[in-house]
């Protein structure tokens, strides 16, 4: 008897490859004259937090309904997708599930911010026309995300697809784009987002909701309708198109530069205990014409996000120095912090971190400890050593920044 199978891919746990999958193939060829599937996707098993196989007799079984009650079905579903890597077992990590619940909350809050600022659902599949660098940048980032998700799904890399959306939504759209377009508050009067950014933000949110829908179907469907009137439910919405025709590499490079500059300034300020709200002056050395032009265009964003206003003259005295793309950005510390006390604090902290680092290095260099101690203890010592080494390097770099 010969016939056609309705399936093309079989999804199976790797542990039944020979118990079940191979038998399906042999029986299918024998009775139907053809293999029952063209592709076999083997996924891992969900194990207990310590890596042991879940078993009722061991009492280490995790009830998914309990996790859903606590964190939501979307968070658990995203956890499973993000951790699944073609055959690799998944260790049950409730903290990760909680983290993905926080991710859903962040997306919800981003959409609420959009609604309160007049950003609504998009009416076009194509990206809106954009003139502002920040909008050209986020359009390019969105297209790159769509491309990454498409490639990952085509290769059945569900972890790659989920993590690509996660990084884009959290690290690019929420943490940076919304901050860059956020209206400025001038006294008691609230500013407004410019019309172009409203259109672009609405389009990006739509792309995010469609991309996230396979992983987080419930919150995305809710937000899809909350953002404005729709002809259809999200589950039948068209998949985004990775159209790269309108990309502007110069605009993307400028915003990437801005993000790196603001990040470096924020990190440097934190390292020397400058309060986040403290406004500072900043001048630049060794900057080329392109950097100076970018500084002029992005001065309002730098002043708002890094609390640093660009000035021409360089005052004397101690200063904080940040280097980005060959240019040195100098933030005077006179009247901002006690420079001598800060140097003493950093010197002591470096010595303490280096002492712990060296002590851990001594333990790890002791063959007796490595051979006889429990593997968890050795692994913890290695992790602690790496942490203290990184801390000593970071603090040393902070001390050098104090010019």
Q: Residue 119 carries which DSSP code? A: -
Question: What are the structure tokens assigned to 140, written together?
Answer: 């390019």
Are residues 149 and 239 both part of a single domain?
Answer: yes
pLDDT tops 50 at residue 221: yes
The DSSP H or E segment spanning 402 is none
Are residues 243 and 257 both part of a single domain?
Answer: no
DSSP β-ladder status, 185-186 and 189-190: antiparallel
d(CA 213, CA 222): 11
Question: What is the SS3 assignment for 89?
Answer: coil
| pTM score of the predicted model | 0.82
Which of 55-59, 106-110, 184-188 is predicted least confidently? 184-188
User: Which domain, by its residues, includes 53?
Assistant: 9-91
Q: Please give the tally of structural domains in the chain.
A: 4
Boundary (domain end) residue, out of 280, 301, 332: 332
Boundary (domain end) residue, out of 247, 267, 292: 247
- CB distance 311 to 282 below 8 Å: yes
pLDDT tops 90 at residue 103: yes
Are residues 14 and 139 both part of a single domain?
Answer: no
Are residues 41 and 28 both part of a single domain?
Answer: yes
Boundary (domain end) residue, out of 247, 263, 294: 247
Q: Tokens 């259109």 label which residue?
A: 199
In a domain? residue 3: no
Identify which of 13-17, 220-224, 287-291, 316-320 has the greatest average pLDDT: 220-224
pLDDT at site 186: 46
Kindly give, in sequence order, each residue whose CB lies less than 8 Å from that of residue 257, ignoring residues fewer than 6 positions away. Answer: 291, 294, 324, 325
Are residues 328 and 367 both part of a single domain?
Answer: no
Are residues 120 and 231 both part of a single domain?
Answer: yes
Q: Over the stretch 273-331, which tens digit does the pLDDT of each residue have?
A: 888 888 988 989 888 999 999 999 999 999 999 999 888 766 666 778 889 998 989 88
CATH number of the domain that residue 353 is part of = 1.10.287
User: Cα dist. 113→41, 137, 383 in Å?
Assistant: 40, 20, 39
Bridge partners of 88?
Answer: 85
Give Cα 363 distance to the centre of its chain: 35
- pLDDT interval class at 339 (50, 70, 90): confident
Are residues 224 and 289 both part of a single domain?
Answer: no
Give the residue-averaged pLDDT of 145-149. Answer: 96
In a domain? residue 2: no
- CB distance 204 to 173 below 8 Å: yes
Percent of the chain whose predicted confidence (pLDDT) is above 90: 48
- In a 13 Å sphere around the CA of 27, the CA atoms on its Cβ side amount to 7
- What's the full length of the chain, in residues? 403
pLDDT at site 189: 44
Q: What is the dihedral of CA 50, 53, 59, 61, to 10 degrees?
A: 90
Higher pLDDT, 246 or 41: 41
């Amino acid at each position: 008897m010969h016939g056609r199978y309705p399936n093309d891919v079989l999804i199976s746990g790797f542990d039944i490859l020979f118990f079940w999958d191979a038998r399906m193939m042999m029986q299918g060829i024998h009775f139907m004259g053809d293999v029952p599937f063209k592709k076999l996707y083997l996924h891992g098993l969900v194990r207990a937090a310590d890596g042991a196989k879940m078993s009722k007799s061991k009492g280490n079984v995790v009830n998914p309904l309990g996790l859903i009650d606590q964190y939501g079905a979307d968070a658990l579903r995203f956890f499973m997708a993000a951790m699944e890597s073609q055959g690799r077992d998944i260790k049950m990590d409730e903290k990760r599930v909680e983290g993905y619940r926080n991710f859903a909350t962040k997306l919800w809050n981003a959409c609420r911010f959009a609604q309160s600022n007049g950003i609504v659902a998009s009416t076009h599949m194509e990206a809106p026309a954009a003139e502002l660098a920040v909008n050209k940048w986020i359009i390019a980032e969105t297209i790159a995300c769509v491309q990454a998700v498409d490639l990952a799904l085509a290769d059945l890399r569900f972890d790659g697809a989920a993590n690509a959306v996660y990084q884009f939504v959290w690290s690019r759209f929420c943490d940076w784009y919304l901050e860059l377009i956020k209206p400025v508050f001038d006294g008691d009067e609230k500013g407004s987002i410019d019309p172009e950014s409203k259109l672009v933000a609405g389009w990006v949110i739509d792309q995010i909701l469609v991309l996230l829908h396979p992983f987080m179907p419930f919150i995305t469907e809710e937000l899809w309708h909350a953002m404005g009137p729709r002809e259809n439910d999200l589950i039948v919405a068209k998949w985004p198109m990775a159209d790269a025709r309108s990309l502007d590499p110069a605009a993307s490079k400028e915003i990437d530069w801005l993000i790196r500059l603001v990040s470096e300034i924020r990190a440097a300020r934190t390292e020397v205990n400058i309060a986040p709200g403290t406004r500072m002056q900043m001048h630049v050395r060794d900057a080329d014409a392109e950097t100076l032009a970018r500084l002029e265009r992005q001065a309002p964003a730098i002043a708002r996000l890094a609390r640093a206003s660009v000035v021409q003259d360089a005052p004397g005295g101690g200063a904080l120095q940040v280097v980005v793309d060959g240019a040195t950005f100098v933030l005077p510390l006179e009247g901002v912090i006690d420079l001598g006390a800060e140097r003493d604090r950093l010197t002591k902290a470096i010595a303490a971190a280096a002492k712990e680092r060296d002590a851990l290095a001594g333990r790890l260099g002791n063959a007796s400890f490595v051979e006889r101690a429990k593997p968890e203890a050795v692994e913890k010592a290695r992790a602690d050593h790496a942490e203290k080494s990184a801390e000593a390097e970071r603090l040393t770099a902070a001390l050098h920044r104090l010019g």
